[in-house]
Structure 1
Amino acid sequence: MSSVRLKALPWLMWSLPLAFFAYQFILRLWPSLLMQQIMEQFSIEATAFGFLSAMYYFGYASMQIPVAILLDRYGAKLIIALCAILCGLSIFLFTFTNQWGLALLGRFLIGAASAVGFLGVSKAVSLWFPLNRYSTMIGLTFTFGLLGALYGGKPVNYMIDTLGWQKVASIIALFGIALGCFIFIFLKNPPTAKIHKNKITLKDLQKTLKSPALIWLAVANLLMVGSLEGFADVWGINYLISAYKLEKSQAAGLVSFIFIGMLFGGPLLAFLSTHWGVYKVIILCSLGMAGLFIGMLLGTSTMNTFGLSALFFCIGILSCYQVLVFTAGSNLMPAALLGVTVAFLNCINMLGGSFFHTIIGFFMDLFWSGDMANGARVYTTQSYAYSLLTIPVCSIFGGSIVYGMQKLKSSALTT
């Protein structure tokens, strides 16, 4: 094999799981483009729609640690390929069923299979690249992976308007199945790879759960994810349509600025944390997200699309505080427990999506004005605004928890 092919091979092996990582972002955002259609198809209200959206995150969170174990035991090729195929089949189930229980199951399975997205790329990077390039490759992974979130908004909405949502769903499903087959055929382990089995054990998990500081950090993280997992993932597009009288494609394009901001937020916040400290930057992010979000809710009569673009870009930057949460968590636990610590924090982080979708949907129905159209409830801007207030309120509570942790840490150092 030529030296050029040898140099290119690690990048090819990285690009295969990376394609699935980007693909699962499209699946994550899918309900936000079809809220009214889904509510009409199943004759449900916002609470049920929120629960349906939450099923993705229940599946994703519940499979974080099991998938990490499966990757170590059976390898990236088999697990990523099976998960990609399962995603495709589950999209078909979700799209073409009229039974509410099967729709919930389909959404849960999509989330469960998507759990391998980042973990699979991380596994491939650890096998094919030197250790000193790990952080660089993970940064590139998020950069290219977020392109899936960008295409999952306005471009996919354009396809829905052109072809119809069920045809687009079928295309996305078939792509997932084809991607899984492609990964199974072409993804390889390097010749010198050593197989490490079952690195994460139940004993490690028990040690992690006995750390009060890590538990509080995870809770704070859950409370702060509303801007991303609550607003950007599902409720943002429909709120903008109602409050700012935008077309769906415009609203989807604006929400995408949150993901664009995230492309820059990781390196910027990491730089700031080296000067101000991890905890201080997380606290500032919580207050910044809350302030910007309240500004959006109050600025419906004064803010134009340019202002919204800038606001969402800034929210995207601040949403990268999650990178610092993993840093803070790794400092709380022994190095030997790093893998299970990251898996645990990511698990609770994704449960934040379930929490926000459920509670926002509940408040939407609580403040529903009684209007109906095509057999489905129609929600006013006021209903959206009151419901979405949970995001900045929870963000402030999350920042307060981190502030308390910082104070306790400072007290411990001075005594």
Structure 2
Amino acid sequence: MRQPSSRNSATAYLVWSVGLAVYFLAVFHRSSLAVAGLAAAERFDITAAQLSTFTMLQLVVYAGMQIPVGLLIDRFGARAVMITGTAIMALAQAGFALAESYPTALVARVFVGLGDAMTFTAVLRQVNEWFTPRRIPVVTQLTGVVGQTGALVAALPMTWALSHLGWTRAYGVAAVLGVVMTVVAAVVLHDTPEVRSLRGPRLSWSLVRDGITRSWAEPGTRTGFWVHFTTQFSGTALSMLWGYPFLVRAEHLSETTAGVLLTVMVLATISAGPVVGSVVARHPWYRSTIAMGVATAIALSWTVVLAWPGDAPLWMLVVLVVMAGLGGPASMIGFDLGRSSNPSERLSTATGIINQGGFLASLLLVVAIGLVLDWRTPGASTAYTPEAFRWAMSCQYVLWALGITMIWRNRRRARALLLEQDPDAKRHMTGLG
């Protein structure tokens, strides 16, 4: 039996710190191409459309691998999967550093996405094994927000490295960092306080199907999926692709001001994470309510900006990016709903299912915005007008309406099941008992 003293201990924080470093490095690898677009276009002699394929393909691989990765973690343990993912990313970055052709580089980025997909769910599994239930929401939020700063850290060092070291050496250094982290993870990480490498039952098609079916059958898993779906996509679409063009073309901000606003959004995400985690830990009954409240606030902010006659004032755009930034911490609530609804043997499978939600919604929105912009700006693929952006950004309302409706439906079932199992659950989970 697990000793209570093993949880929340110094060793727990050491294991979590290494897992967090692995996730941080994964985000760094994921984002390392963001500042290398012009260099990549020149090196591989590719068009802008081909260049965008790098990012889109990574996201598709990441989202598509979430359920398989969850199954692998349930079978082989978080430690083995995390070490494997880190090693894959290191080899992929080495391949990217040496690539001379577009197809070779594309294959390398696919494997970066594959390795990246194997980190976050594994870190969350270790958080659930090493910390007490009351501490888990806060540590989960910290994992998400600290890990995402890898995207910020990637910008300056990679810009410097590409200009001073050149393509091959810059990405070669990134690959070496991956090798070092693989070794550190192999030495420090343990799956649980009692077991270095945890193993679950052997995988078979029937077992896989049963695990996925049972995880999705839990109303808490479905609620978590739709929470992640509903809260993440607006901020992700802004930060990944469309925020900068919207602010510059639709709101007529300077390039510098647009960049500052996107940085404010990231800082809002980082600042809000621990606060959201603390509230969720104290009042878990209201987790879905908090998520729907954040989604509604984001939607209202967009409504004011899109309905504003002419350019929205700067203060309103600050409100918009701050609200969009809150979507990141709110999406993490989905994982806590999955944690409390599934047994440990299929927890990672449920986490993988939930983690697909936000990325699926983000991909749908990114593609929809591009299609609508092209539709509303015929014959001028880059001269997007404010009106075209208003049409395009309005696609978000379809996703919010779907997501909030599904959260409401599934949480009713989840709460009814919980009260059936424990009639006093509401009193205990509202901080009143």
Q: Shared fold by TM > 0.5? A: yes
Matched position secondary structure for 1:370: coil
- Separation (CA, whole Å) in 1 of partners of 2:75 and 2:411: 38
- Separation (CA, whole Å) in 1 of partners of 2:15 and 2:284: 36
Change (3 A) 1:268 1:17: closer
Q: TM-score, normalised by structure 1?
A: 0.75
- Separation (CA, whole Å) in 2 of partners of 1:220 and 1:12: 30
- Separation (CA, whole Å) in 2 of partners of 1:76 and 1:255: 33
Q: Could you say which residue in structure 1 is the equivalent of 2:353? A: 344
Higher relative contact order (CA 8 A, sep 6+): 1
Report how far residue 275 of structure 1 moved.
8.9
> Residue by residue, what CA displacement relative to the aligned partner does 1:203-242 show, whole Å, maximum 9, x if unpaired?
2212234457855763564354321322223322343343
Would the aligned equivalents of 2:370 and 2:392 in 1 still touch at CA under 8 Å? yes
Q: TM-score, normalised by structure 2?
A: 0.73
Would the aligned equivalents of 1:297 and 1:385 in 2 still touch at CA under 8 Å? yes
Q: Could you say which residue in structure 2 is the equivalent of 1:42? A: 46
- Separation (CA, whole Å) in 2 of partners of 1:337 and 1:233: 31
Would the aligned equivalents of 1:360 and 1:387 in 2 still touch at CA under 8 Å? yes
Q: Does 1:401 align with 2:401?
A: no
Would the aligned equivalents of 1:50 and 1:358 in 2 still touch at CA under 8 Å? no
Would the aligned equivalents of 1:65 and 1:344 in 2 still touch at CA under 8 Å? yes
> Aligned partner of 2:87: which letter?
I
Q: How does 1:301-340 map to 2 (within 5 A)?
A: 301-304=311-314, 307-330=316-339, 337-340=346-349
- Separation (CA, whole Å) in 1 of partners of 2:300 and 2:166: 36
> Residue by residue, what CA displacement relative to the aligned partner does 1:153-205 show, whole Å, maximum 9, x if unpaired?
5x468648965984795266335434444425643438842643136841221
Unaligned runs of 5+ in 1: 1-6, 372-376
Matched position secondary structure for 2:283: helix
- Separation (CA, whole Å) in 1 of partners of 2:92 and 2:327: 33
Would the aligned equivalents of 1:57 and 1:351 in 2 still touch at CA under 8 Å? no
Q: How does 1:351-366 map to 2 (within 5 A)?
A: 351-366=360-375
Q: Could you say which residue in structure 1 is the equivalent of 2:174? A: 173
Q: Could you say which residue in structure 2 is the equivalent of 1:226? A: 233
> Residue by residue, what CA displacement relative to the aligned partner does 1:99-128 show, whole Å, maximum 9, x if unpaired?
554454333322221122223333444566
Report how far residue 134 of structure 1 moved.
4.2
- Separation (CA, whole Å) in 2 of partners of 1:136 and 1:144: 12
Change (3 A) 1:309 1:25: farther
Q: Does 1:255 align with 2:256?
A: no
- Separation (CA, whole Å) in 2 of partners of 1:247 and 1:97: 36
- Separation (CA, whole Å) in 2 of partners of 1:220 and 1:130: 23
Q: Does 1:114 align with 2:121?
A: no
Would the aligned equivalents of 1:218 and 1:348 in 2 still touch at CA under 8 Å? yes
> Aligned partner of 2:28: which letter?
I
- Aligned residues: percent identity? 18
Q: Could you say which residue in structure 2 is the equivalent of 1:150? A: 152
- Separation (CA, whole Å) in 2 of partners of 1:30 and 1:295: 34
- Separation (CA, whole Å) in 1 of partners of 2:136 and 2:113: 26
Q: Could you say which residue in structure 2 is the equivalent of 1:287? A: 296
Report how far residue 42 of structure 1 moved.
2.2
